[in-house]
Structure 1
């Protein structure tokens, strides 16, 4: 094994350097992958209390609602197309409707409960 390394270092130093560098890069990404593996989750926390930064799409995923149903619950109309949407947050919606976030949260929870009860889930 040692003689093979000496051969490659003596005869092919550039190729050996590229190989060693690629091994280090691969090791770096493998360690990063393993460190972040525990933090990866597909789901959004369910029935999360509304916060100012949240967007309607995030809330719809959290409450397991179709976007149109959430739009009806919030009274904001149909969701705009992906490329044409403006950054609308829960703080903006609460301000437009003159309510606070806890009131809006209760409205969303009640609407979601009614939707899921109607669908039998």
Structure 2
């Protein structure tokens, strides 16, 4: 069963717009950059994201959102725990991100496993 991985960012105040664009492009680019060591192929099913444009006013500082879909929990686990491209991306966020939030779910599963 596929896993949806939602990532929310709040960039630090004063972060240059070019840095924000580069960071967002690299986040979306992980879909092609992350290659599984067994298959030697990209393993992220889909990736999308963008800047907040909600009119509700309850973003609590979050400015950008990303949705990454994995074919399986095993793929998500590899991405989070082992993938060197993902780890390098996370390290590159030091000094740029004020706050990050992540939540993962399986569609239609509403009880904790």
Pair in the same fold by TM > 0.5: no
Structure (1/2) with the larger helix percentage = 1
Structure (1/2) with the larger strand percentage = 2
Between Structure 1 and Structure 2, whose CA radius of gyration is higher?
A: 1
